[in-house]
Structure 1
Amino acid sequence: MDSIRSSIWAFLILLLISHFTVFGQSEKLLPKPYQASFGNAKLVIKGDKEDFKSKLTEWISVPRDGSYNFEDVQVSVQWVEKLNGIDVNKEESYLLEVTAEQIAIQAVKQQGAFYALQTLLQLADEKEGNLVFPESRILDRPAFRIRGFMHDVGRSFIPVEELMKQIEILSSYKINVFHWHFTEDLAWRLESRLFPELTADENFERFPGEYYTQEDVRKLIDFAKRHHVTVIPEIDMPGHSAAFQRAFGYDMQSKEGKEILKALLTEAGDLFAGLPYFHIGTDEVRFTDPDFVPEMVAFVRAMGFKVVSWNPGWDYKAGEIDLLQLWSYRGKAPEGIPFVDSRFHYINHFDAFADLVSLFRSNVAGYDIGSETVAGSILAVWNDRKLNDWKQIIRENNFYPAMLTFAERLWQGGGEGYFDETGVLLPEPGTPAWESFADFEDRLLWQRDHQFENFDFPYYKQRDMEWLVLPPLANQGNLDLEFDFEDDLKKGQVPTEMLAKTIHVKGAGTYLRHVWGTLVPAAISNPQPNHTAFVIGKVYSPEERAVNVAIVFQDYSRSEKDLPPPQGAWDWKGSKVWINGEPIPAPIWENSHTEKTNEIPLQNENWQSRPAQRVVLKKGWNTILLKLPVGQFQTEELRLVKWMWKLVILGEDGKEAGGLRWDNSKIESK
């Protein structure tokens, strides 16, 4: 009898598994839902995705119970007080159920219904004039209530139409905050009808005439509201305000300056009425008037806003500010003050691969899930260095790959530790952390190939690549120093005594020492100046073929005055690369200036803005050798010397070259 019961239970379990599978059956959803199961049935609806999206968006925009009939398929929305199993951020939660006959959504607020629709649209496949949805049940919620991005348009300018496009795209990945940093020393980019001199050409030091009209602002705020994105406007005070001083001749902290500023804030308060937050900056400045910040906080609060401020900045106590935004590793919120974490979130310093790994693996300020105090995070793009246009800002900051990675982590919660614990290396293969990254990378690449075909999306599959990093050797400050075993390395042969001490690294490359020094762990645990490291990899090609290779030895931050490399060299460190013993020449650099300045735009210093190197792989095993000398970690040419490498092999179509296989075991000892 026991054996019969066991057989019955086994059959029932098998039947259940065959009907509802786990998340892996829908490998494209991003961010990954809180809970999801999928069945074998399909719902087929006649029509196209854009029409479906438009009609459903309009339907759910009004909080009403009932159902909408789309091509004879019922789509119902039910508003509930709570969803069982959801304990945080309930207002953004939803339950989505798809059967072979209908679609049903339950939500507490409109945000939840909107996010249910975004998930539904990601699930849809378009086939022969039909939309095909998998049978599914998805219970979902965000781990953190603030999931945002910031553009520094004080130092740059991004047209309002482009900002709206970004809001539309990122809201589909459940990003819900846009932080609009309007003012800087270089320019004041918010129209004032009271004080038009603020946006006069003579008071701009970069991109004169480029600013946002009040009509632009109203249009964007309305658009963001319809996409459930909260706009946080920022007028930085009293620092970063040279543009204000040029226009009026007064410092913001002077009596006259404060009067003008209050008039400006009143005008801005009318423009931003209805928004919950107003950001007042307060960072990187010497306070000459001890009453300035408390006075401005009280003034902005009296207009009905919650006030946001940077930290480090003014020293607030609990109750004196509504929300702190932490920046730099020194940022720390006093007990009792809610905060947003932006300390390691400046993507103007990020590279495209290793820092993306760190962003994926890190939690938020040491927390796996949000609370009243831990509000979430905002990813920031600072534009101290002039770039030619907004397209270069998006491309060189790896904006969309970084934002989708960020969206995943902020919605999912969790992580393996904070940036200063997890570092920038890929997890160990075979571990749960490795499987988690592999699952995410597949979904990220699916989004790249299906949703971002016409956008700059500089990311390539990297987890199949592997390298050996040889222990660094002292070079006595001689970056041209040659070692007697270099010719053997070019043949793929490593001295036996060094092979035992090598570091195995997966990915497109990484930092030997991070841009933020030892604050963020990198491949070498205790990096020292005046050393040379060698990195070697073996890649198999099934045939002789021409490929394009993107190579990086110094990722240029988009916020530094760093000088371009000297002609004929890859960087200022003397880095070199060989494939099968043949040296790969450096690009011809478009910039050649010798004066450090932020006002000469980056050109082709970064790989995203130059063609990849054309090389030929032979049939069989190919040896790639990189030589990475470093002197001091700060030099006259570079404020932030990045001891790093990146190398990605691309096919004719600009995507990953197929059919290649990497294997460290093919590296020989000698």
Structure 2
Amino acid sequence: MTRIFLAFFIMTSSLVFSQNKLNLIPYPQNVEIKEGSFILSEVLNMSNDLPKKETDYFRKRMGSMITLKDSKKSDAQLVYSQWPKASAGKEESYSIEILPKRILIQSYTQQGYFLAIQTLIQLFENYQTEKKIPAMKIEDQPKFAWRGMHLDVCRHFFTVDEVKQYIDYLAMYKMNTFHWHLTDDQGWRIEIKKYPKLTQIGSKRKESMIGAYVDNTFDGKPYGPYFYTQEQIKDVVKYAQERHITIVPEIEMPGHALAALSAYPELACTKGPFEAATKWGVFDDVFCPKDETFKFLENVLDEVIQLFPSQYIHIGGDECPKTRWKECAHCQELIKKNNLKDEHGLQSYFIQRIEKYVNSKGRKIIGWDEILEGGLAPNAAVMSWTGVNGGIEAAKSKHFAVMTPGAYCYFDHYQGDPQTEPNAFGGFTPLEKVYSYNPIPDELNAEQAKYILGVQANLWTEYILDFKQVQYMIFPRLMALSEVGWGTSDPKNYKEFESRVIHQFKVLDKMNVNYAKSIYNISGKVISANKGIAYELSTSQNSNGIRYTLDGTTPTIHSKTYQGPVSIPGSLTIKSAYFEDGKLKSAVSSQQFIISKATGKNITLEQLPSENYSFGGAFTLVDGIIGNPKQLGKTWLGFMGKDVAATIDFGQKTDFSEVYFNTLQNKGSWIHLAKSAQIFVSDDNKNFKLIKEIGKAKIENANGKIKLNVGQQSSRYMKLRIENAGIIPAGNPGADSKAWLFVDEIGVN
């Protein structure tokens, strides 16, 4: 009888394990649960042939979790077996077989062994309480060769120890590339021995912008000098190599050069003087493409290449205004001499000249997708950030690309309700959105898709003052990115992934990591309901714990229990929070609704917003929520270089006499007020009659907050056309680039 029960227990235990995913991130490609368990309380004897550096890392991470010994006295052993030479693309493959008295790791390379160690560490952490790990076989390898994270140390600086911590986080979740953004307008952070003024002058600024950009407020405190010595960089590179992470350095050119020009003004098109930027944004003064500039950059790159053994050197190439080049006699002569079409062709000339030099040193360049302007350098790779089109264009022309579109991969965006989050750059990129990303664009065929190297997320630090905030912005989104890069993400089962994330929080707690708890907070979504709107609330926890009020008061455990979407019958403020065991467990979320005759009605847009600022789609413009000008997150739609043409269907003839909408102005971020606006009405959605038109002067006088008396109207359809400012004029940040137009809510009364 005992034997029958034991057999039944083993069988059902195995079934339970097979039905529930292991708490691993990123999830392996193949997991097979077997009978039996490995007992964690035993001494684990280490085979003598284990790779030393990786095994030393394993010992350090294990701490007191399990006793490790270099001995073969016990049956419980960790054994390593190296497979024959790997074929291309298999370098990171590994397998783990866990048996009751033996753990066998196999791989082609020490890198594969290191990745197996990360999986083993997570298994030990997950089963530490139970003191036993189910027997299993894991066979695993990543889908993408480039699984990267970026860190900007120019806007705000982070110490060597903090950078090493950042690298450790990447290693934990099997990332293999660290993109180190070392130079920008606001600071030069790498010692170049041939040009000491780069760090003597360029590594400091007189003050820093604080708060939201639109506040235009500064702290009045000198910042710096902050930079890394070459010895410190060698130390960090070695540290990363021991964790099988490649560091790709970025030296910005031809734009984002103010810090360098503050030290060496002769490299500009004008005489200066210059100083490292105290604001965030894009600035007109850039490197001038003259021989002394190229000699300077070549000398800088010589020292960079000596410090970093990476195949790729990132040369920036983004957001380079052409204002100074247009006014520069040398630049105009260079355009004529080389038969270039225009200043965009001059940018291509600049990048191609740098590429030839980098190639001559046995390395390759990678740059942001603006390096496509005027023609891509012959051997360059593209980092596609403005969307996916840069990556598509590169892959179709047989150039490698790393996908890092802002809409999914910018971790300086808000990850929860902006009202409950620390100040961020803008945008809205929650955990679920990161997890939903597929780095292979649908537009590519199988052959073209081979040129997509992988995926990367970027952390720009304009609003990140310290390393605790760095932790907050990358966790838990780094976990989602790691599974996307590994190729095992499944957006249809996001909730299952979310449960694994919450399990990982226990590990981060032990490490004292300041991760974001946004998924615990209440998330609100406006939906169409009964010819109006309703507010759908959700949390990662049991929704029965949500309490809410409709009178603007703070919810308590005795407030209304959420039982489904809440109807919004008129203008009001809803506040909500999550309670567990009678205690408040989340931030209090608050949302004000201003209801008009357009709220909740069908709306269509002739042109779609930018993917970075498209949350909620067209419905965002009739969801009853007025956008906060300091938070370009959930409640605004952003259109780059495009007009807004929105048609609202009231469903029946409707009387109205007033139309309102808001646009923004934030020239430092290339956001300009609309040039004009027109309102039309129709009864058949075909023949529209113009009933109101306003120009730029009236929009500027109202500071973008437009409320128009349109006379007594009665129609089924209303169309609002808002004209984008177009190309940004000279003298403004981003001159010659497309302006942004932001719109929040279209109201009708």
2-structure distance, mates of 1:59, 1:47: 24
- Paired residues, number: 499
Query: Secondary structure of the equivalent of 1:403?
Result: helix
- Number of the residue aligned with 2:52: 58
Are residues 1:352 and 2:416 paired?
A: yes
- Number of the residue aligned with 2:197: 197
Which residue identity is paired with 1:320? P
- Number of the residue aligned with 2:455: 377
1:476-535 deviations in whole A, cap 9, x for unaligned? xxxxxxxxxx87999979998969xxxxx999989999x966666544543327x6249x
Query: Secondary structure of the equivalent of 1:528?
Result: helix
1-structure distance, mates of 2:73, 2:613: 54
Are residues 1:277 and 2:336 paired?
A: no
1:285-308 deviations in whole A, cap 9, x for unaligned? 136453322121011111121211
Q: Mapping of 1:408-487 within 5 angstroms?
A: 408-413=483-488, 433=492, 436-453=493-510, 454-462=512-520, 469=527
1:18 Cα deviation from its structure 2 partner: 5.3
1:519-559 deviations in whole A, cap 9, x for unaligned? 66544543327x6249xxxxxxxxxxxxxxxxx9788479x
Are residues 1:210 and 2:274 paired?
A: no
Gaps of 5+ in 2: 1-6, 57-68, 208-222, 269-286, 326-330, 335-345, 418-428, 534-549, 571-575, 579-585, 594-602, 634-664, 670-703, 707-721, 726-739
Gaps of 5+ in 1: 1-11, 417-432, 475-485, 500-504, 535-551, 559-593, 599-629, 645-670
- Number of the residue aligned with 1:95: 95
1:237 Cα deviation from its structure 2 partner: 0.8
Q: Tell me, yes or no, if the aligned pair for 2:115 and 2:174 is still in contact at 8 Å.
A: yes
Which residue identity is paired with 1:349? H
Are residues 1:38 and 2:33 paired?
A: yes
Distance 1:41 1:321, change over 3 A: same
Which structure is richer in relative contact order (CA contacts within 8 A, separation 6 or more)? 1
Say which is worse superposed, 145-154 or 465-474, in terms of deviation.
465-474
Say which is worse superposed, 281-290 or 33-42, in terms of deviation.
281-290
Which residue identity is paired with 2:250? E
Query: Secondary structure of the equivalent of 1:36?
Result: strand
Distance 1:37 1:261, change over 3 A: same
CA RMSD, Structure 1 to Structure 2 (Å): 4.8
Say which is worse superposed, 456-465 or 172-181, in terms of deviation.
456-465
TM-score, normalization by structure 2: 0.57
Q: Tell me, yes or no, if the aligned pair for 2:47 and 2:71 is still in contact at 8 Å.
A: no
2-structure distance, mates of 1:445, 1:456: 14
2-structure distance, mates of 1:495, 1:95: 50
Distance 1:439 1:473, change over 3 A: closer
Q: Tell me, yes or no, if the aligned pair for 2:404 and 2:455 is still in contact at 8 Å.
A: yes
- Number of the residue aligned with 2:718: none
1:351 Cα deviation from its structure 2 partner: 2.1
Are residues 1:299 and 2:357 paired?
A: yes
Q: Tell me, yes or no, if the aligned pair for 1:175 and 1:229 is still in contact at 8 Å.
A: yes
Which one has a bigger Cα radius of gyration?
2
Distance 1:554 1:77, change over 3 A: farther
- Number of the residue aligned with 2:158: 158
Say which is worse superposed, 465-474 or 242-251, in terms of deviation.
465-474
Are residues 1:308 and 2:377 paired?
A: no
- Number of the residue aligned with 1:112: 112
The partner residue of 1:405 within 455, 480, 501 is 480
Distance 1:174 1:555, change over 3 A: farther
1-structure distance, mates of 2:610, 2:450: 32
1:419-476 deviations in whole A, cap 9, x for unaligned? xxxxxxxxxxxxxx1xx111111110111123334111112545997766466989xx
Distance 1:520 1:187, change over 3 A: closer
Q: Tell me, yes or no, if the aligned pair for 1:360 and 1:409 is still in contact at 8 Å.
A: yes
1-structure distance, mates of 2:88, 2:95: 14
Q: Mapping of 1:521-670 within 5 angstroms?
A: 522-523=615-616, 525-528=618-621, 532-533=624-625, 556=631
1:236 Cα deviation from its structure 2 partner: 0.8
1:134 Cα deviation from its structure 2 partner: 2.4
2-structure distance, mates of 1:54, 1:190: 41
Q: Mapping of 1:118-267 within 5 angstroms?
A: 118-125=118-125, 132-201=132-201, 204-205=204-205, 207-249=223-265, 250-251=267-268, 252=287, 253-267=289-303
Are residues 1:389 and 2:383 paired?
A: no
Are residues 1:29 and 2:24 paired?
A: yes
Which residue identity is paired with 2:461? N
Q: Tell me, yes or no, if the aligned pair for 1:61 and 1:110 is still in contact at 8 Å.
A: no
2-structure distance, mates of 1:266, 1:154: 21
1-structure distance, mates of 2:482, 2:228: 27
Distance 1:519 1:114, change over 3 A: closer
Q: Tell me, yes or no, if the aligned pair for 1:31 and 1:407 is still in contact at 8 Å.
A: yes
2-structure distance, mates of 1:157, 1:255: 32
2-structure distance, mates of 1:268, 1:128: 44
Q: Tell me, yes or no, if the aligned pair for 1:284 and 1:313 is still in contact at 8 Å.
A: no
Q: Tell me, yes or no, if the aligned pair for 1:28 and 1:443 is still in contact at 8 Å.
A: yes
1:321-340 deviations in whole A, cap 9, x for unaligned? 34210111253433200100
